[in-house]
Structure 1
Amino acid sequence: MDGSAAALATVIGARVRRERLSRAWTLDQLADTAGVSRRMVVSVEQGEVNPSVGTLLRLSDALGIGLPALVEPPQVATVKITRRGEGATLWSGEHGGQGVLVAGTAPPDVVELWDWTLAPGDAHVSDAHTPGTKELIQVQQGSITVTIGDQSATLRVGDAMTFGGDVSHSYVNAGGRPARFSLAVFEPGVGSGAPQTGGA
């Protein structure tokens, strides 16, 4: 991990531990509720790993706090501004792309706003999110191919798409130029005790 990724991993680990202890949960209880291994929970809490977005979603959903609350500092004010470069980079592609969480709301109905870039050849594959999750995409640069279950569509500059994120899906840049898109994710009922399927 580079310095910024290591710093983010440390912050996330401290928040997971604080939230777990505030519920008087053991490591095993959190692992079971989130559907991840005990070893992963330990590694996350100690800041030793840069967990996948799917793992972070499972942990934040299990704790009932939503992904934005896990990666952002607590806010007292009703208005929060994320300046350019201040978002949490939660995914890095093999060829240089990034998934940056730039804004989000508190549970129970969590909305996340992402700024994604995919370098040529980059692909992000996601498991299904929790039931009822919706995703909205709009392409600002280049083109991407989005696959939801067994359906695929290529989106170009200005194109937008809405789909259910509670099935497996992927974003791929099969072109020769970098692609950039905004992604909004709506995840209802976070912390309501619904079974967790994870995803990203």
Structure 2
Amino acid sequence: MIDPADLGRRLYDLRAGRGLALTALAKAAGVSVSMLSAIERGEKTPTVVVLSRIADGLGLSLSRLLADLETDRVIVRRAAEQDHVAEPGGWHRTVLTPVVPGVNFEWIRTTLPPRCDAGTFPAYAPGSHEFVAVESGTLHLGVGAAEYVLEAGDSLYFPADVTHSYANRGDEPCGYHVAALVMRPRGARA
């Protein structure tokens, strides 16, 4: 398991060693200054996607960024430690997975209130995958130009290298899980 305080110190040391201001790294990584600051202070544990963006902003691979920080091969992430994010529009997501060096996998539980559109998400790098399983309600899942209507108990897989969207057009809340393997674009990194 990666200690948030150790991760924060490592990020700070890497950023400072490159002479980057907090705002400069936040811009290069595509994350908010407040998020980056909270991570550096050890107050927030970032998702794999956020860590990947920070690694890109530093010009490093994710495994290089996290080198020597993993202390245990078995990671238990208690409910109280999971990241709960209230999104604009009233929807809520919980990141269930811990950060594991070298693994670009996330498992997220999402709840969309009635008549909520979570928006369109950009295509990930080729080789990315998403698995969606609906727990309750009805989910309208856009994949590229197609739309799929999924009911409770339904599941769907799609290559996530296309734009995709999630919406609840019904009168009841919709709960679903997304398991995502998000590849990073290949590029020169240390």
TM-score, normalization by structure 1: 0.66
Partner of 1:122: 116
CA gap 1:135/1:16 in 2 versus in 1, 3 angstroms: farther
Higher-Rg member (1/2): 2
Percent identical residues: 22
Partner of 2:41: none
Query: Which of 51, 55, 62 is the equivalent residue of 1:65?
Result: 62
Q: Tell me how far apart the structure 1 counterparts of residues 179 and 104 of structure 2 sit (CA, whole Å).
A: 10
The Cα offsets for residues 26-74 of structure 1, whole Å up to 9 and x where unpaired, read as 3547744x4x4xxx65454345xxxxx9x937624515338xx8xxxx6
Partner of 2:157: 162
Give yes or no for contact 1:86–1:102 (8 Å, CA) kept in 2.
no
Could you tell me which amino acid in structure 2 is paired with residue 120 of structure 1? Answer: P
Q: Tell me how far apart the structure 2 counterparts of residues 83 and 136 of structure 1 sit (CA, whole Å).
A: 23
Gaps of 5+ in 1: 1-10, 48-52, 196-200
CA RMSD of the aligned region, Å?
3.6
Q: How many residues align?
A: 167
Map of 1:23-102 to 2, 5 A cutoff? 24=18, 26-27=20-21, 28=24, 31-32=27-28, 34=29, 36=30, 42-47=33-38, 56=50, 59-60=53-54, 62=56, 63-65=60-62, 75-95=70-90, 97-102=91-96
Gaps of 5+ in 2: 39-46
The Cα offsets for residues 67-108 of structure 1, whole Å up to 9 and x where unpaired, read as xx8xxxx6522111222343112452423x211111145343
CA gap 1:16/1:181 in 2 versus in 1, 3 angstroms: farther
Q: Tell me how far apart the structure 1 counterparts of residues 10 and 113 of structure 2 sit (CA, whole Å).
A: 31
Give yes or no for contact 2:15–2:25 (8 Å, CA) kept in 1.
no
Aligned to 1:56, the other structure's residue is in SS state helix
Q: CA deviation at 1:158?
A: 0.8
Q: Tell me how far apart the structure 1 counterparts of residues 107 and 72 of structure 2 sit (CA, whole Å).
A: 19
Could you tell me which amino acid in structure 2 is paired with residue 108 of structure 1? Answer: G
